[in-house]
Structure 1
Amino acid sequence: MSAEQDPIEFTREHWADQDQPGAEYFAAMGALMRTHQLMINELDRELKAHNLSRTAFLLMATLLISREHTRPLGQLSRHLLVHPTTITLVVDQLAARELVHRRPHPTDRRTVLATLTEEGLRAVTKAAESLAAARFGLTSVNEPLARRLSAVLGEVRTKMDDAP
């Protein structure tokens, strides 16, 4: 592979040359995975300065945009596509830092709610400002391209039954 050649195109070509199945899908998977890795590396770098993990930030961001900054832990798990045990662990860690308050649901004893505290609101807002300055990991990507990317991935997610 030459220094100028895209590693995804190199892989696609060689996959097809080896008569392996689904070269275009293999390349699309590789492109998504590489992009994801580049993004999370940048997100993690930015979030480290705020002493937050990606899951903690996404959980707090979900609470930020939720009514009354509150959600049941089960909803957080489903929304973030994270195992319930992980949500419980992250909520406990954030509660220990007084960024999230954990309390029982007022009418359903089986449900536990997580609520963003005032300190949590300040922390997630500050982290979001840092991430926005870093274009949420999409460094060097302009807004029109980000919009196109969201649209294309929206189409893919619809085909995969993740979006209406």
Structure 2
Amino acid sequence: MRFDPIAQARENWAEAGWGDVADGMVAVTSVMRAHQILLGRVETALRPYDLTFSRFELLRLLAFSRQGALPITKASDRLQVHVTSVTHAIRRLEEAKLVRRLPHPTDGRTTLVEITDLGRSTVEDATATLNREVFADVGMTDEEITGLVGAIQSLRHAAGDF
């Protein structure tokens, strides 16, 4: 486009009499658009592995864990998503033979999710692809990235995220 539609939205907001909240609207809309852009890049990079970003995150978390396995509830907590979402991701990863569920050795109420050898090799390849195609150049300078991360961290903290 030859103009910034979010800047135009700011003008429209001000003209409608909402100028006092226009900056907030621009901030939210900008973050949402940035999310769409980055998610599109991530999904394109992960497509050859038949992974979504949420499934990739679960595999990566399991690969980082010392035992390669975690209780499902702990995975849910660490990924900051509802256990139902983790369970759905596990089901899809199980179908692809990338993870398996195991009974907890000492707590009969708990189920573990464990990464398989195929899951480990898949997540290592997918990580290399994401590092090369997305994370190495997100389209911002190092200083801009630092500022963005700091600003978002403030937002997350104010929302009680940590």
| Separation in structure 1 between the aligned mates of residue 54 and residue 115 of structure 2, nearest angstrom | 15
Sequence identity (%): 30
TM-score by length of 1: 0.87
Structure 2-normalised TM-score? 0.88
Determine if contact 1:39/1:136 at 8 Å carries over to the other structure.
no
For 2:156 and 2:84, how far apart are their aligned partners in 1?
25
**In structure 2, C-alpha distance between the alignment counterparts of 1:45 and 1:5, rounded to whole Å:** 26
- Matched residue, 2:51: 52
Distance of 2:100 and 2:136 partners within structure 1: 29
Aligned-residue CA RMSD (Å)? 2.0
List structure 1 runs of 4+ shifted beyond 4 angstroms.
none
1:93 aligns with 2:107: no
Q: Give 1:6's aligned amino acid.
A: D
Tell me which protein shows more helix as a share of its residues. Answer: 2
Q: Which residue of 1 aligns with 2:62?
A: 63
Matches within 5 A, 1:1-164: 3-20=1-18, 22-136=21-135, 139-163=138-162
Q: Distance in 1 between matches of 2:149 and 2:158?
A: 14
What letter corresponds to residue 144 of structure 1 in structure 2? E
Conserved 8 A contact 2:42-2:134: no
Letter in 1 for 2:23: E
